[in-house]
């Protein structure tokens, strides 16, 4: 009977240790994600993407500071060229999206339409928040934000 108690105590201790380890790991990962989000939050979305790309390239390719600067300039120029390409077709694309939304909405029940409208509002709010961070249409970064 005594051996049984020792085995049970060992199993309980192991389980408690494993559970504690998992909980601490989750807390640590969440803290790291939160820390990363806080670190990146002052950057506008497009600048953050450029920053992340360059950070990974510098790490993985072991870029020199000069290479990083030249590549960063090329990425920024490319974004500007893309903006100029998109500008003339943006109104047509918006109109196409509006027509598609109307067509989808026509297929839905009144309850589904209400939910669809909520989803669209939520999506628009997220897009607006991203746009406010980058002012992508004008290709400018708001004051105080540095890529």
Is 77 contained in some domain?
A: no
Decide if 89 is inside a domain.
no
Among 52, 45, 53, CA closest to 135: 45
| Domain annotation covers residue 10 | yes
Cα separation, 76 vs 109, in Å, equals 45
- 82 domain-assigned: no
- Domain count for the chain: 1
Per-residue model confidence as pLDDT tens digits over 34-70: 666 656 555 456 666 777 777 788 888 888 889 888 9
Kindly report, residue by residue over 122-144, the tens digit of the pLDDT.
988 887 776 665 444 444 444 44
Query: Has residue 36 been placed in a domain?
Result: yes
Quickly count: other Cβ atoms within 10 Å of residue 70's Cβ: 12
Is 8 within a domain? yes
Instruction: Name, in order, each residue with C-beta under 8 angstroms of 48's C-beta and a sequence gap of 6 or more.
Output: 40, 147
pLDDT of residue 147: 42
The domain of 31 spans 1-42
- pLDDT > 90: what percent of the chain? 18
């Amino acid at each position: 009977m005594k051996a049984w108690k020792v085995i049970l105590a060992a199993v309980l201790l192991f389980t408690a240790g494993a559970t504690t380890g998992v909980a601490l790991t989750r807390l640590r990962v969440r803290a790291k994600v939160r820390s990363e989000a806080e670190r990146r939050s002052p950057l506008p979305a497009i600048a953050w993407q450029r920053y992340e790309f360059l950070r990974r390239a510098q790490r993985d390719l072991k870029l020199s500071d000069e290479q990083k600067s030249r590549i960063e300039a090329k990425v920024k120029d490319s974004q500007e060229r893309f903006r100029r390409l998109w500008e003339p077709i943006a109104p047509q694309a918006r109109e196409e999206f509006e027509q598609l939304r109307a067509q989808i909405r026509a297929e839905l029940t009144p309850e589904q339409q209400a939910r669809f409208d909520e989803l669209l509002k939520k999506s628009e709010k997220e897009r607006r928040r991203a746009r406010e961070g980058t002012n992508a249409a004008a290709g400018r970064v708001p004051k105080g934000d540095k890529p």
